Chains A and B, each alone.
Chain A
Amino acid sequence: MSDWVLRGLKTGIKTTRYPDAPETRPGISPGLPILGQEIAGVAELCPTRALLAENRCVTVDYRRCVHCFRCARPQDVTPARWQPGYEWAAVEASGNLERGVFGGSLHVLVVDAGDCGACLSEIAQLNNPYYNMHRLGFFITPTPRSADVLLVIGPVTDHMRLPLQKCYEAMPTPKRVVAVGACALSGGVFGPSFVAGSGAADVIPVDVLVPGCPPPPLAILHGLLVAVGRKPAAQITSSAGPAKAETVEVI
């Protein structure tokens, strides 16, 4: 048994200092495309219309981005610019969510409504020594009866509509819903179809949106912090008209 203790001590502290300080380790996030003039050239490559250029107005809708990188690595066209970062979570209604509703700790129920496994794996990374959400007072609970936040992943397949609804109804108030991943926000590449919906908002009211395919653990962490009001929300869509080709920074 002591071997494990020594091993643990030898490994040292790996935990990130986020949210007190930004994390800069390489490989923590795939990034997201940002608005710029060149987007107009690659918008038609986007399979999910996350980049839209119509009427000479370009929009970026992060809810739809599935990280296919077609706009980043096009053949024969200027690629879109991508910005690293991970604080992507937005709130459904404008404004931020009230702070202090849940006290010091948060119990999170994870409901898998048809995800591919990548979002679930990223959520599982939240418990590893690098991200360690326990130090922020976030815990995963297996039952909705003791859950504060419902974390939904997947496009909500037909068979999971009823379980998701039951989960939501079984949670006591106050409760918040965080939709994680492109599938839960817009159906991703799967929905809507005869068995997949176009996201969690079809079934239950959603409070926080975390885009990405899959969103890296720090983005999910940011989403949970937004859900408890400890961090300000970001913008999930941005648009620029033809006269001003300015970039709208999304961290």
Chain B
Amino acid sequence: MNLEFILLATFLVLCCAGVLVAILAPDRRNPFALAWIGSLASVSILWLSVDVLVSGHTLEIPLWTLPRLGMLTIAVGRLSALFLGTAGIVFLAASVFSVAYLRRYLGHYSLKWFGVLYHTLFASVVLILVAGDVLSFLLAWEVMAIASYLLVNYEHEHEENTQAGWLMLAMGEAGTLAAGIALLILANSAGSLTFSKFAAGSATLAPGMRWAIFLLSFLGFGVKAGLVPFSVWLPRAHPVAPANVSAILSGVILNLGLYGIVRVNMEFLPMTLLGPGLVALILGSISALVGILYATAENDMKTMLAHSSIENMGIIVTGLGAGFIFTATGHSALAAIAFVAAFYHMLNHSVYKALLFLGAGTVDLHVGTRDMDRLGGLIKVMPWTGLFFLVGALSISALPPFNGFVSEWLTLQSLLRSVELDSAAIGTVFAFCGAALALTAGLAVTCFVKAFAMTFLGMARSKQVDQAFEAKRAITTPLGGLAVLCLVLGVTPTFVIPVLDNTLKPFTGASAAQTLIPPFFLRTAPAQLPPAFVSEFHDLGAQIGKGVVPAAGLVVLHRGAERNPVVFAMSTSYMFIVLVLLLAGSFGIVRLWVARKRTVTRRLRWDGGIRRLLPAMTYTATGFSSPVSVIFDAVLHPTTVEDTRETIHEHFRTAIRRSRQDIHILEWIVFRPLAAVAASIADACARMHNGRLNAYVTYVLVTLIGILLLSLSVQT
């Protein structure tokens, strides 16, 4: 009975208890109960994950054996622990948040039901991550799919919520089907359902089969991860769920898709072909670009965050694709860096996306609207929420010293490493994808400046804002915790990278930490760096903190090989210290010296001298992103719905009406043509139903004769 087992068991017991309490307790008490039990469950999972990651112990629990199929097991390794930890963080924040948030449903919807589904979802997520064989994996996956569908559809009185959830479920099931087939092929070649046997069994597969498994698993799990072109369900489903569920969907469920892709293509079937990596790279970049483009043009906070999730998943998959290509061409050190970047980004994304979704939920809870064209000036009333949302926005825009910067920097660096590949064609593809990611990063800044500024800064744009008030500590605490985590993950990359590295070393065979973190704090100079170079970095101060900080160094550095002897380095740790010192210094100088002789007066903003600025006179969210919309017109494909003007006596304008509708690019490129084809096929087949009894009897007769003939031929 080791620690890991106890923790896992505690977790499952807590989830069952949660379900029971949810059913038995009155609705009024339910949020409280959910928060407590959910938090405890998250804490136990977090503890389990940290323990496994740090110590490396694995947990293997055989459940029972199925004849001729293999053993059903529970297996927790470092990879699962990483995903479990991420899930734990998000569920912890969401659970604490639920205490205050769920009160809005009191009396309207059944909170018992919510509690049941919440704990079921948590349990199913963990079971997916700890499943050691195909059957339990798929079972838990289906439970997760149904639970998440029901939670998305929680506010079932709105018709569009049901449709959104239905689309998610349908597409998810289609993806599960494909992924399931991939897993079954692997099981077949391994002769057993247990995951641990897959790697050995798949070594002999032919390239054709490898391609099939890759495509099935990548596209199948890609639906769940929200990859283009299968991401149409994401912007519909994530916004309509309650805010805590949205955070879980974006922060945990999307990761499950990545989990599937990674386990199949890194562990079960290590990449030997070049093609799959390219597919991943290209699809990832396109996802990123399409996602952020639609996020920038979107005015509803949660829909914007949903599109942004597509973007982040795209970045992660780009990193994975780069890693696959490096693995296939034998550059295992570079592959390690790319995978570390991807997983770091996954971890970061869960943290800041949960923060942003919970923040959006807070705004929705207190103001009553999510439309950025109606918000504004909230920072005066909700300063803490605004501050934490700002931290989330800075993180997702990849600005130092927050976590988004580190993982995007690593991703872009790994793309730049393509210089070491032999093939110029692949290098060109890398270049284009790198450019797409850079464009994405720029658009992300635009998008989140708009999100933060239009919501919190400036003037209120509608009367609804007047009723807002600062959130209670039950809400600001999880937001604050996630914000602090964003900063911590950003400032301590040299601690996080070794952890990720230990997780991934078995799959890549090389150590990223050794390449990325030169041990400047150790007395002897590191072996792989030339001494002149080391001394240069010492002159730059790379040894500050030696003896104080328990790590190899605080600088993340990569030095190219002979073909490309360039050094890329960054250190958010030192950056953070310098930032703090500069801020404190300038504050001190101004306060103590400059302001001594002068008085500071506060006056109203300068407005040209008019009597009062009206709410209509502030920049709107649509106006802010309209340059982007105009430039990317060809992609956004707007159709003008209305462009009319009304006049009295022909010269007094009473109204000028303009409105337009954007059709998502995936819809007009992929789905509308597909739907048209499917409809035409269906029409052709529908001619079978002509309503005549004679025809139907003929069908029966033909089928009967056909089966008889078939059985005869089989027998002979």
Q: Please, how many angstroms separate the alpha-carbon atoms of A190 and B676 in the complex?
A: 76
Contact of A162 among B604, B606, B611 (CB under 8 A): B611
Residues of A within 8 A of B606 (CB): 143-145, 166, 170
Task: Write the nearest CB–CB distance from A115 to chain B, whole angstroms.
Answer: 16
Chain B residue nearest in CB terms to A160? B609
Residues of A within 8 A of B610 (CB): 163
Report if B104 contacts A (CB, 8 A).
no
B603 within 8 A of A: yes
A167 is an interface residue with CB less than 8 A from chain B: yes
A143 to B606, CA, bound (A): 8
Tell whether, in the assembled complex, residue A163 and residue B603 are in contact, meaning their CB atoms are under 8 Å apart: no
Q: How far is the CA of A162 from the CA of B610 in the complex (A)?
A: 8
A169 touches which of B603, B607, B608, B611 (Cβ 8 Å): B603
Interface string of B247-281 (1 = CB under 8 A from A): 00000000000000000000000000000000000
Taking CB atoms, residues of chain A closer than 8 Å to B611 are 162
* Chain B positions 585-610 with a Cβ under 8 Å from a chain A Cβ: 603-604, 606-610
Which residue of chain A lies nearest to B606 when distances are taken between CB atoms in the complex? A170
Q: Does the CB pair B609–A162 fall under 8 Å?
A: yes
Q: How far is the CA of A164 from the CA of B610 in the complex (A)?
A: 10
Count the B residues whose beta carbon is within 8 Å of the partner chain — how many?
A: 8
Of listed A145, A162, A167, A170, residue having the most chain B CB within 10 A:
A170
Closest to B608 in A: A163
How many chain A residues sit at the interface, stated as a range, is 10 to 19
Q: How far is the CB of A184 from chain B (nearest CB, A)?
A: 17
Inter-chain contact A167/B609, CB cutoff 8 Å: yes
What separation, in Å, do the CA atoms of A219 and B556 have in the docked complex?
66
Distance between B594 CB and nearest chain A CB, rounded to angstroms: 14
Interface members, chain B 471-526 (any A CB < 8 Å): none
- Residues in A whose Cβ lies below 8 Å from that of B603: 169-170
- Over the window 147-174 of chain A, the binary record of Cβ atoms lying under 8 Å from chain B Cβ atoms (1 yes, 0 no) is 0000000000000001110110110000
CB contact list, A113-147 vs B, under 8 A:
143-145
In the complex, how many angstroms separate the beta carbon of A38 from the nearest chain B beta carbon? 46
- How far is A170 from B603 in the complex, measured between Cα atoms in Å? 7
Residue numbers in A under 8 Å from B608 (CB-CB): 163
Min CB distance, A203 to chain B, in Å? 12
- Chain A nearest CB from B567 CB (Å) reads 44
Residues of B within 8 A of A143 (CB): 606
Complexed CA–CA distance, A114 and B192 (Å): 92
Output the nearest chain A residue to B599 by Cβ-Cβ distance: A173
Q: Which residues of B contact A170 (CB under 8 A)?
A: 603-604, 606
List the B side residues contacting A167 at CB < 8 Å.
609
Residues from chain A with Cβ under 8 Å of B607 in the complex = 166
Q: Which residues on the B side are within 8 Å of A163 (C-beta)?
A: 608-610
Distance, CA A143 to CA B607, complexed state (A): 10
Chain B minimum-CB-distance residue to A165:
B609
Residues of B within 8 A of A144 (CB): 606
Complex Cα–Cα for A145 and B606 (A)? 8
Q: Which of B606, B607, B611 has the most CB of A within 10 A?
A: B606
Complexed CA–CA distance, A167 and B606 (Å): 8
What separation, in Å, do the CA atoms of A166 and B606 have in the docked complex? 8
Residue from B609, B610, B611 with most neighbouring chain A CB atoms (10 Å): B609
Q: Which chain A positions have C-beta within 8 A of B609? A: 162-164, 166-167
A170 to B604, CA, bound (A): 8
**Docked CA distance A143–B608 (Å):** 8
- Per-residue contact bits, chain B 395-422, to A (CB 8 Å; 1 contact, 0 not): 0000000000000000000000000000
Q: How far is the CB of A49 from chain B (nearest CB, A)?
A: 32
A166 to B608 CA separation, bound complex (whole angstroms) = 9
Q: Which of A145, A162, A166 has the most CB of B within 10 A?
A: A166
Q: Tell me the smallest distance from the CB of B613 to a CB of chain A, in Å.
A: 12
User: What is the distance, in angstroms, from A77's C-beta to the closest C-beta of chain B?
Assistant: 46
Bound CA span A164–B609, Å: 7
A104 CA to B427 CA, complexed, in Å: 57
The docked-state distance in angstroms from the alpha carbon of A169 to that of B610 is 14
Which chain A residue lies CB-closest to B611? A162
A166 vs B603: C-alpha distance in the bound complex, in angstroms? 10
CB distance from B653 to the nearest CB of A (A): 25
Query: How far does the Cβ of A128 sit from chain B's closest Cβ, in whole Å?
Result: 27
B residues in contact with A166, CB < 8 Å? 604, 606-607, 609
| B598: nearest chain-A partner, CB-CB | A173
* Nearest Cβ on chain B to A143's Cβ, whole angstroms: 6
B607 to chain A, nearest CB (A): 8
Q: Closest residue to A172 on the B side, CB-wise? A: B601
Bound CA span A162–B611, Å: 7
Contacts of B604 in A (CB 8 A): 166, 170
Nearest 7 CB-CB pairs, A to B? A163-B609, A170-B606, A166-B609, A145-B606, A170-B603, A143-B606, A169-B603
Could you show 9 A-B contacts with beta carbons less than 8 Å apart?
A144-B606, A145-B606, A163-B609, A163-B610, A164-B609, A166-B607, A167-B609, A169-B603, A170-B603
B interface list, Cβ under 8 A from A: 603-604, 606-611
15 further contact pairs, Cβ within 8 A, besides A144-B606, A162-B611, A167-B609: A143-B606, A145-B606, A162-B609, A163-B608, A163-B609, A163-B610, A164-B609, A166-B604, A166-B606, A166-B607, A166-B609, A169-B603, A170-B603, A170-B604, A170-B606
Residues in chain A within 8 A of chain B (CB atoms): 143-145, 162-164, 166-167, 169-170
